[in-house]
Amino acid sequence: MLGRYFSDQTCSVARSLEVVGERWSLLIVRDILLGINRFDDLVSSLGITRTVLSNRLHHLVDEGVLEKRVYQNGPNRSEYLLTDKGMGLTPVIAHLMWWGDSHYPEAEGPPRVLLHHPCGGAVSGRFFCSGCASQVEPGEVMTRSGPGLRKDHGDCAERPLPPVARTGSAAGES
Ligand SMILES: [Zn+2]
């Protein structure tokens, strides 16, 4: 388990980092936003050990960021869905992506672009859609590869909306 490095700080940034500050956690959430949400697929995608992934997933489920769901019995196979609380990290990951595009750009262009699901317009900073000129909600963001995506890092298809647990984030907190 993650140590509570910031427990003596009264700061919401520090409290958030207790949950998602470990280096794999936001990458796991990123992959689930891309629709990669089954254990074995996450192992392959992230290049993470099964033990570390298992620990991170348990932590994120305990915190109500993810919900675990068995999709196959005998042998049991699980997938992980974003709760509303987890979906709230979409802008965090998007802004990290844009920050990286800005300060550490690929020569060919951004590896991935964000699209507004209802209209297909490009989502820009401040979560504004250039297609329909409206504010974009976290659950309305889908992605496709951009010009900088290396061929060995995935296909060029549009990703559908991420899998979401509709039971809401409050379930694990009562
Ligand atoms: Zn739009």
Query: Residue 95 C-alpha to ligand 1 middle, in angstroms?
Result: 18
pLDDT per position as a tens digit, 29-50: 999 998 899 999 999 999 999 9
Q: Please report how many Cα atoms fall inside a 13 Å half-sphere around the Cα of residue 137, on the Cβ side.
A: 6
Q: What pLDDT is recorded for position 172?
A: 40
Query: Residue 146 C-alpha to ligand 1 middle, in angstroms?
Result: 18
Summary mean pLDDT of the chain: 86
Domain spans in the chain, listed from the N-terminal domain onward: 12-86, 89-153
Tokens linked to 164: 């979401």
Query: Residue 71 C-alpha to ligand 1 middle, in angstroms?
Result: 33
pLDDT per position as a tens digit, 73-113: 888 899 999 999 999 999 999 999 999 999 999 888 888 89
Do 32 and 162 meet the contact criterion of CB atoms below 8 Å apart? Answer: yes
Q: What pLDDT is recorded for position 7?
A: 65
Query: Residue 5 C-alpha to ligand 1 middle, in angstroms?
Result: 40
Phi/psi at 56 (5° precision): -65, -40
Q: What pLDDT is recorded for position 52?
A: 97
> What's the one-letter identity of residue 106?
E
CATH fold group of domain 12-86: Arc Repressor Mutant, subunit A (1.10.10)
Query: Residue 11 C-alpha to ligand 1 middle, in angstroms?
Result: 34
Q: Which whole-number Å values give the CA distances from 36 to 11, 71, 109, in the listed order?
A: 32, 14, 24
Do 110 and 63 meet the contact criterion of CB atoms below 8 Å apart? Answer: no
pTM comes to: 0.83
